[in-house]
Amino acid sequence: MATEVLPQRRGWTLHRPTATTGVWSWITTVDHKRIGILYGVTAFVMFLAGGVEALLLRVQLATPENNFISAETYNQLFTMHGTTMIFLVIMPLSAAFFNYFLPLQIGARDVAFPRLNAFSYWVFLAGGIFMYTSFFLGGAPNGGWFGYAPLNTEGGVLDVVRTHNMDFWVLGLIILGIASTVSAVNLLVTIINMRAPGMTFMRMPVFTWMTFVVQFLLVFALPIITVALFELLFDRLFGTNFFNVLNGGDPVLWQHLFWLFGHPEVYILILPAMGIVSEILPVFSRKPLFGYAVVVFSGIAIGFMGWGVWAHHMFAVGLGPVANSAFALSTMFIAVPTGVKIFNWLATMWGGDLRFKTPMLFAIGFVAMFTIGGLSGVTHAIVPHDTQQTDTYYIVAHFHYVLFGGAIFGLFGGAYFWWPKITGKLLNERIGKANFWLMFLGFNLTFAPFHILGLEGMARRTHTYPEGMGWDFWNMVSTVGAFLIAVSVAVFMWNVMRTRTKGEVAGDDPWDGRSLEWSISSPPPAHNFDEIPEVHEVDDFWHKKYAEDEHGRLAPAVAGGAGYGPSEAHAGGHGDGEHGGHEAIHMPSPSYYPAFTAIGFPLLAWGLIFSPALIVIGAAILLGGLYGWALEPSAE
């Protein structure tokens, strides 16, 4: 065979797709911006699913001795609510922002491996769909979002052991782990290798920095839970003994492996939102971030220390006083870099020219709510205190304050902040403010009562509770609050729909931004930057726009200092990347293979549960996809 590597291929490899609009263009896209949008839309749909599950739980708990849903359904719903919100909402919503803005913030034209990037998305989607098919194939996972073995292995709770429900959970998480690992390696390489000239590490925007830390956490944390999941899977499917106590298994091994992943995971969920907030606050305070280097190093410190605190999830296990004390200390200690960040955000606002636009409201909401959640978190570090709180609603209150009041508020702030860059249109301010205040009110009504309920002894994961425990009032308040959150989400969706037709055109730089993404048109052209920018300092774009006069006040930069060359001339409206003079910019071609290959994973997983034939088909698709991918011609 002497065929050259040319567009003409032998029959069995597909040509590279050419569609630029329509469904196929989205399925075959390798553009990091489109993949970011796909992540965002999918995660939002999952957010609605997880939200509906939460509403059903709250209706059930609104009154004592309620029978709105059965105990078994309740188990499935709280398991899927937790799993959905963590793995199918917050992680991919963060990934949406990573994908869209990381290359823009570092001045790159795409991520390091565009096809792998598409692959990550499609595998994530396949994993999510796979997990949700459980509702139609015998019942959804019902063992809680941390799936404790040996409760769900031989000798455990029969309903959980003898059904396939938790198999969906185990296999689904393995698939999602593959998606996240691939994506993490991809983004790591992008940050390490593809920064624009002059974009040194200590000039990167804080969102990029937090993204960087999160990818390290993902690369190192995911294989640990992957191993735990395989051990659990083998126990459940093949009768191995990892968690079989009779045959020598250790009942605590699962908890160690799970939380050794699970605590870094907590920072995987919150650091992206911290990064977003660190972008929003300076822009709407018209001040540089206070203590840039300290904020960055706090993020890194959190990333490191996050590996040494996992056993605070296990204080009630009985690890002994020495282990408990050590982890209590490390847990209190990790509050320090977190507190440092909070004070930096406050100092950023202090004396600033504050503009309370919707993104700013969400960012301030984040700081306030996250502080409350952080403080209740510190109370868990005190072992005797934690022993009282374990498995009560106090814990539920804590992690909703950090994950909803923290991560979700930050991500909504990011959505309002970057919406004009992604779509070219501003979300409506008045509706946005209504969105924020409704969500803020609903959130606190829902979750603040959990503190009281927990301290009064209400156990989490209970299907119902008797009358006369003193829990009736606060449970009803919480349910009302949950519906208020639902209204606020509906308001957000209305805002989005309205903006599509009536939205105000944003222009390139509606907020007077500081980082590189604001220097290009909205939405950005396919190749991002007409000319790769040169970076000279932190907040480089800001310094291109402004200088200081002799009194230290802001003044417009001297002529010629603004913008990054030709892109300024193209301001507004170019989305196609085909304007004159830039045809030479080579962008990666779309490909069928990432989406095709991803189909193999859920087929394999269904096959493991139901039928060996599906395993064969899934493996064939996977292998065929990988080979086709590897041999795919590089150009159209």
Partner 1 sequence: MSVQAAAHAEHPATNTGMSNVKVGMWGFLASECLLFGALISTYLLYRGRVGQAGGPIPHDVYDIPFTSVSSFVLLMSSLTMVLALAAIQRGDERRLRVWLVATALLGMVFISGQVYEFSTFVEEGLTLKTNVASTAFFVLTGFHGAHVSIGILMLLSLWGISHQGKLPPSRSEAVELVGLYWHFVDIVWIVIFTLVYLVPAPAGAGGG
Q: Which of 69, 137, 157, 219 binds partner 1 (CB under 8 A)?
A: 219
Q: Which is closer to partner 1, CB of 505 or CB of 631?
A: 631
Please report how close the Cβ of residue 305 comes to partner 1 at its closest, in angstroms. Answer: 17
227 is a site residue for partner 1 (CB under 8 A): yes
632 is a site residue for partner 1 (CB under 8 A): no
* φ, ψ at 505 (rounded to 5°): -70, 135
Query: Looking at residue 505, what DSSP letter applies?
Result: E
326 is a site residue for partner 1 (CB under 8 A): no
112 is a site residue for partner 1 (CB under 8 A): yes
3 is a site residue for partner 1 (CB under 8 A): yes
Size of the site for partner 1 (CB under 8 A): 59
Please report how close the Cβ of residue 212 comes to partner 1 at its closest, in angstroms. Answer: 12
Which of these ranges, 234-242, 394-402, 416-424, 612-620, lies near partner 1 under the rule CB under 8 A? 234-242
Q: Which is closer to partner 1, CB of 257 or CB of 274?
A: 257
Cα–Cα distance measured from residue 149 to residue 244, given in angstroms and rounded to the nearest whole number: 9
Closest CA to 234 of 167, 290, 319: 167
Cα–Cα distance measured from residue 141 to residue 73, given in angstroms and rounded to the nearest whole number: 10
Q: Which of 6, 23, 158, 246 binds partner 1 (CB under 8 A)?
A: 246
Cα–Cα distance measured from residue 115 to residue 207, given in angstroms and rounded to the nearest whole number: 24
Closest CA to 418 of 29, 19, 33: 33
Closest CA to 524 of 509, 539, 511: 509
Cα–Cα distance measured from residue 1 to residue 233, given in angstroms and rounded to the nearest whole number: 45
Please report how close the Cβ of residue 220 comes to partner 1 at its closest, in angstroms. Answer: 5
Q: Which of 250, 429, 456, 512 binds partner 1 (CB under 8 A)?
A: 250
282 is a site residue for partner 1 (CB under 8 A): no
Q: Are 124 and 176 in contact (CB under 8 A)?
A: yes
What b/e readout covers 607-620, taking b as 16+ CB neighbours within 10 angstroms? bbbeeeebbebbee
Q: Which of 536, 556, 616, 634 binds partner 1 (CB under 8 A)?
A: 536
The DSSP element (H or E) to which 495 belongs, if any, is helix 472-502
Which of these ranges, 117-125, 223-231, 459-467, 499-507, lies near partner 1 under the rule CB under 8 A? 223-231
Q: Are 109 and 528 in contact (CB under 8 A)?
A: yes
Judged by CB under 8 A, the chain residues 169 through 188 that form the site for partner 1 are: 181, 184-186, 188
For CA atoms 361, 431, 40, 516, the dihedral sign is negative
587 is a site residue for partner 1 (CB under 8 A): no
For CA atoms 605, 609, 614, 619, the dihedral sign is positive
Task: Tokens 């005797």: give the residue.
Answer: 384
Structure tokens at 425: 């249109």
DSSP, collapsed to helix, strand or coil, labels residue 214 as helix
C-beta pairs of 615-621 under 8 Å, 24+ apart in sequence: 621/596, 621/597
Please report how close the Cβ of residue 543 comes to partner 1 at its closest, in angstroms. Answer: 6
Please report how close the Cβ of residue 388 comes to partner 1 at its closest, in angstroms. Answer: 30
Which of these ranges, 91-99, 238-246, 420-428, 443-451, lies near partner 1 under the rule CB under 8 A? 238-246
Please report how close the Cβ of residue 239 comes to partner 1 at its closest, in angstroms. Answer: 5
Which of these ranges, 37-45, 192-200, 459-467, 488-496, lies near partner 1 under the rule CB under 8 A? 192-200
Bridge partners, 555 (sequence order): 547
Interface characters, 483-522, with partner 1 (x: CB under 8 A): ----------------------------------------
Cα–Cα distance measured from residue 28 to residue 117, given in angstroms and rounded to the nearest whole number: 11
548 is a site residue for partner 1 (CB under 8 A): yes
Binding site for partner 1 (CB under 8 A): 1-3, 5, 112-113, 181, 184-186, 188-189, 192-200, 219-224, 226-228, 230-231, 234, 238-242, 244-250, 253, 257, 534, 536-537, 543-544, 547-548, 557, 561, 627, 630-631
